[in-house]
Structure 1
Amino acid sequence: MSVKTSQKITLWEFFQSLGKTFMLPVALLSFCGIMMGIGSSLSSRDVITLLPFLGNPVLQLLFTWMSKVGSFAFSFLPVMFCIAIPLGLARENKGVAAFSGFVGYAVMNLAINFWLTAKGILPTTDISILKANNIQNILGIQSIDTGILGAVMAGIIVFALHERFHTIRLPDALAFFGGTRFVPIITLLTLGVFGLIIPLVWPFFATGITGLGRIINSAGDFGPMIFGTGERLLLPFGLHHILVALIRFTDAGGTLDVCGHSVSGALTIFQAQLSCPDTRGFAESATRFLSQGKMPAFLGGLPGAALAMYHCARPENRHKIKGLLISGVVACVVGGTTEPLEFLFLFVAPALYVVHALLTGLGFSIMAILGVTIGNTDGNIIDFVVFGMLHGLATKWYMVPLAAALWFSAYYAIFRFAITRFNIKTPGRDSEQTSQVEKTLSGAIGKSGYNVPAILAALGGADNIISLDNCITRLRLSVKDMSQVNGDALKALRAIGVVQLNQHSLQVVIGPQVQSVKDEMDMLMNSVQA
């Protein structure tokens, strides 16, 4: 939906929106990782020895194809970020913004290549010179490997240029180059100059990121706990993507030589090792920040919390909340999406959420101490099977069920004690609220499974909404008048949580079906305005 009125966003809102744009390439990266994981594991000698029928040439060609296709996201991750950022941030003409993102990233690297050539560093094939200057082939261009951070910087610049110039009007003689056509033109010129600056300032950025990585790594086995706890604490504010991207894709998550190439970032290292035929096992220094750390809390802890909330509900209400809790557990265990469960207690018991964040972080450290090496991004049962079990006992996947069982018991005991001792109003403990939900659910239900017209009314109607977007589990809105938003009605309409960021910005936590809810609301608003 396009923005109806111009509204200046705060720095907080900008970083939230920036973090949201990371999810498009990261989602593809996660899926590609699964393809690479299945392809590489089922073509390994150990698995073929165990299951000889997998050695069939046709099957091996299929597995090799899966690994090759899955390597796409790893090979082109920075350019995907540079395209996704202006695409996600732009309010209008998103296609032009995305096209300009590609133009900007390519031109930036061409300008860096020009600078390196002018300085006499290029052309060369000397491995020592290339390594000393951190030079890699990027889109077929020899350039300084600025990684994800360089792509993010370029993407933000492209977005700013797009917002400033996509409606520019030029004199009649130059009118052909005006409007949206001017955006890639000004992008080419601006990023061409920016690329000349990169070689001068990049060493300072690299030093800062490397220093951050040293701080995290100097904490030893406590480092993963800092990361895991920080990610959970930032999640309610929508800022966790920034921290996650920093660890997954920059030097802060470590640097390692894989198949003759220097690779930075925990997830990038893992995916490089996954696609490298010479790799035997995965680097513990990288996987300790990845899926394995989430598994104690995601596969054991949060299901334990859900069971505690079920047992603490009023007996007459348990059947009414069973579906809500089961769907949350499935989303968590199978999809790695935790917000449907976390937002059931975040707002009614923030202290309990802090305990959950600490226990999640502790899970990261315990997995690292036990020497588990299971990578990827989601921490769900799919990651456990594909990147743990299928890669043999070397990953120490058998430690995960033990840790998950321990976390299940701990969460269940802590949540049941806290809910009953402090009378926390988790689902089913308020009989009046439950009956209200029941009445609400009897209304019009769309394909999303939600009463979208009622949700729109609770938001103040179509005229109250300035902009509408969504991330993985939340509607992200800007509204004209926050007083017209009825938070209680939204919760009665099965919204898991309502987060008011300032007098205009609002987030409504829906869950895994948020995209369908957003699409239905878009159609409804367009029909109202027609």
Structure 2
Amino acid sequence: MLPIAVFPAAALLMGIGYALEESGMENLYFMAMILQKTGNVIISQMPMIFAIGVAYELSDDKSGLAACNGLLCFLIITSLLSVSNVSFLEDTLRFRVDEAFGNINNQFIGILSGLLAAFSYRRKHVSTNYLPADFRVLVYTSIFAMLCSIVLYIVWPLIFTLLISIGTMIKDMGPLGAGIYAFLNRLLVPLGLHHMLNSIFWFDVIGINDIGNYWAGTGIRGVTGMYQAGYYPIMMFGVVAMALAMYQCCFITRKKKMKPFFVSSAIASFLTGVTEPLEFSFMFLSPLLYVMHALLTGISVFMAASLQYIAGFSFSAGAIDFVLASSLPMAVKPYMLFVQGGLFFVIYYVLFRLMIKKFDLCTPGRENDQNEPFQEGSIAAEDLNEMAKVIIEGCGGAENIIAIHSCITRLHITLKDQDKFVFKRIRQNGAAGYLKTKEEIQIVYGAHVDAIMDVLKNYQL
């Protein structure tokens, strides 16, 4: 959640900036530019923020070194696979280098870099007599980044070529092809490859140029814009309903904490069409839900294209773009997208609530155990001190503890000797359960785990 939490605010800044710019009030242009540029800096650097945030969150002890190595790994991969470097290496251009590697700076690479850096950081505890621990992490990160770049250099063009072939194949399928494109678009978001697919239909890679023709008024009315229009019901209504459903399905002890995230994500999606903050918060936790989201997006784009409800966009399918685009010559019954949006609001809300509850799916605010041992505000400072003391005793003393970090509702503790761990001692002080793995002990404490972690740091230091 750390890297995701900042994106809705950035999207709102951009949305307010665009609204001020379109107001026509010249004295607000400077403020509009500041808001747009500020939000755009954050959104455009989303991949880098993921690299830093994922590495930090998955490190043993929420380490700044791990975060720095996430950034290092990201910079190595994106630099080695930059268009200039790949063009130099590729003596015979068997594919379009600019298009294949022009979007290598994406969220997938950011998340992958964070994972590699966190994995490298965990090697810090592997003993060796030759290299200092921190330097060893740096070496591991660099090696993994280079190896990853080699693999991506081979694989990435193959994926791009495949996407070009798919785009060409569905180009002449009309509204059905538009729906298939939208479905694949959402499925590829986790990998960052949706930018490649978008370029095929939105721009002039194979002659469609849906966005350019819509705004220039040079396309075919009722056809031009069909690869865009169906996103409005999803981003302005479906994603809002999705956020509402997931919020209502949060565990009681997590609702207050998660409410600002869901509200800001919903507003950002409605106004600006930026959906990634909410999508990335659950796509890896509950892939089933995300596939359903992709399917509904495909259906929406297919419906709008079939019924010829047309409105394009320049940035994304949010309310701001809708106001600007619905009055253009290529627009056809754009108001009907609101009717379709209302339908998809109901569909999203009902399906998400039913699936989350029926299959007990993990979504933001449901990562922890339902039977949390404490309610909000029920632990006093002196109790936290006593809990920390008992935890250390139950782990065999401070000298037996290598590293401690917290994640959502659990303490993750790496021990020198796991045989010294006595859960019976810790359970008496409020622990709900524990999980022992080869590398660490995970103790479930609930919503107050971060507070416990803060006290433990003092004991550790």
Q: TM-score if structure 1 supplies the norm length?
A: 0.49
Q: Distance in 1 between matches of 2:72 and 2:289?
A: 46
Note the C-alpha offset of 1:62. Answer: 1.5
Matched, 1:41 2:10: no
Q: Which residue of structure 1 lines up, in the alignment, with residue 378 of structure 2?
A: 444
Q: Which residue of structure 1 lines up, in the alignment, with residue 137 of structure 2?
A: 183
Match among 95, 115, 122 for residue 163 of structure 1 = 122
Q: Which residue of structure 1 lines up, in the alignment, with residue 363 of structure 2?
A: none
1:185/1:397 CA distance change after superposition, 3 Å: farther
Match among 12, 19, 33 for residue 64 of structure 1 = 33
- Does the 8 Å contact 2:410/2:442 carry over to 1? yes
Counterpart residue identity of residue 117, structure 1: F
1:67/1:483 CA distance change after superposition, 3 Å: same
Q: Which residue of structure 2 lines up, in the alignment, with residue 293 of structure 1?
A: 234
- Does the 8 Å contact 1:210/1:251 carry over to 2? no
User: Identical aligned pairs, as a percentage?
Assistant: 13
1:220/1:502 CA distance change after superposition, 3 Å: farther
Match among 68, 77, 80 for residue 99 of structure 1 = 68
Match among 89, 92, 104 for residue 146 of structure 1 = 104
1:69/1:132 CA distance change after superposition, 3 Å: same
Query: Residues 84-113 of structure 1: CA distance to partner in whole angstroms, max 9, x if unpaired?
Result: 443333224732233333334434455455
- Does the 8 Å contact 1:38/1:386 carry over to 2? no
Q: Distance in 2 between matches of 1:207 and 1:386?
A: 34
Matched, 1:117 2:116: no
Query: Residues 330-374 of structure 1: CA distance to partner in whole angstroms, max 9, x if unpaired?
Result: 8755554999xx9xxxxxxx9xxx999969954773376345668
Counterpart residue identity of residue 183, structure 1: V
Q: Distance in 2 between matches of 1:369 and 1:528?
A: 60
Note the C-alpha offset of 1:38. Answer: 2.3
Match among 67, 89, 97 for residue 133 of structure 1 = 97
Matched, 1:245 2:190: yes
- Does the 8 Å contact 2:163/2:197 carry over to 1? no
Mapping of residues 314-463 of structure 1, within 5 Å? 332-333=262-263, 335-336=265-266, 362=296, 365-366=299-300, 369-370=303-304, 371=310, 396=334, 399-400=337-338, 403-404=341-342, 407-408=345-346, 444=378, 463=394
Mapping of residues 11-26 of structure 1, within 5 Å? 24=3, 26=4
Note the C-alpha offset of 1:509. Answer: 12
Q: Which residue of structure 2 lines up, in the alignment, with residue 89 of structure 1?
A: 58
Mapping of residues 251-270 of structure 1, within 5 Å? 251=195, 254-255=198-199
Q: Distance in 2 between matches of 1:355 and 1:151?
A: 23
Note the C-alpha offset of 1:400. Answer: 4.2
Q: TM-score if structure 2 supplies the norm length?
A: 0.54
- Does the 8 Å contact 1:388/1:397 carry over to 2? no
- Does the 8 Å contact 1:293/1:363 carry over to 2? yes
Note the C-alpha offset of 1:293. Answer: 1.8
Match among 445, 452, 461 for residue 521 of structure 1 = 452
- Does the 8 Å contact 1:87/1:94 carry over to 2? yes
Q: Distance in 2 between matches of 1:215 and 1:338?
A: 31
- Does the 8 Å contact 1:372/1:397 carry over to 2? no
- Does the 8 Å contact 1:108/1:195 carry over to 2? yes
Q: Distance in 2 between matches of 1:284 and 1:71?
A: 27
1:157/1:220 CA distance change after superposition, 3 Å: same
1:213/1:325 CA distance change after superposition, 3 Å: farther
Q: Distance in 1 between matches of 2:91 and 2:351?
A: 66
1:440/1:299 CA distance change after superposition, 3 Å: same
Alignment RMSD, CA only? Answer: 6.4
1:326/1:500 CA distance change after superposition, 3 Å: same
- Does the 8 Å contact 2:61/2:405 carry over to 1? no
Counterpart residue identity of residue 39, structure 1: G
1:304/1:38 CA distance change after superposition, 3 Å: closer
Query: Aligned pair count?
Result: 385
Q: Distance in 2 between matches of 1:364 and 1:501?
A: 42
Counterpart residue identity of residue 369, structure 1: M
Query: Residues 302-343 of structure 1: CA distance to partner in whole angstroms, max 9, x if unpaired?
Result: 869999x9xxxxxxxxxxx9x99999888755554999xx9x
Query: Residues 441-470 of structure 1: CA distance to partner in whole angstroms, max 9, x if unpaired?
Result: 6973679xxx9969x89xx96757985544
1:147 match: secondary structure: coil
Note the C-alpha offset of 1:200. Answer: 4.0
Counterpart residue identity of residue 63, structure 1: A
- Does the 8 Å contact 2:227/2:301 carry over to 1? no
Note the C-alpha offset of 1:40. Answer: 2.5
1:325/1:356 CA distance change after superposition, 3 Å: farther
1:43 match: secondary structure: helix
Q: Distance in 2 between matches of 1:169 and 1:78?
A: 33
- Does the 8 Å contact 1:162/1:183 carry over to 2? yes
Q: Distance in 1 between matches of 2:179 and 2:52?
A: 36
1:387/1:167 CA distance change after superposition, 3 Å: farther
Q: Distance in 1 between matches of 2:79 and 2:347?
A: 56
2:409 match: secondary structure: strand
Note the C-alpha offset of 1:182. Answer: 4.3
Counterpart residue identity of residue 60, structure 2: R
Q: Distance in 2 between matches of 1:34 and 1:73?
A: 11
Q: Distance in 2 between matches of 1:78 and 1:207?
A: 23
- Does the 8 Å contact 2:289/2:352 carry over to 1? no
Mind listing any 5+ residue stretches in structure 1 that lack a counterpart? 1-19, 49-53, 122-128, 137-142, 231-242, 263-268, 310-320, 343-349, 378-382, 423-435, 492-497
Counterpart residue identity of residue 132, structure 1: R
Q: Distance in 2 between matches of 1:286 and 1:446?
A: 53
Query: Residues 20-49 of structure 1: CA distance to partner in whole angstroms, max 9, x if unpaired?
Result: 6xx61x4444433332222233313xx42x
1:164 match: secondary structure: helix
1:60 match: secondary structure: helix
Note the C-alpha offset of 1:525. Answer: 3.8
- Does the 8 Å contact 1:453/1:521 carry over to 2? yes
- Does the 8 Å contact 2:87/2:97 carry over to 1? no
Note the C-alpha offset of 1:60. Answer: 0.5
Q: Distance in 2 between matches of 1:499 and 1:64?
A: 51
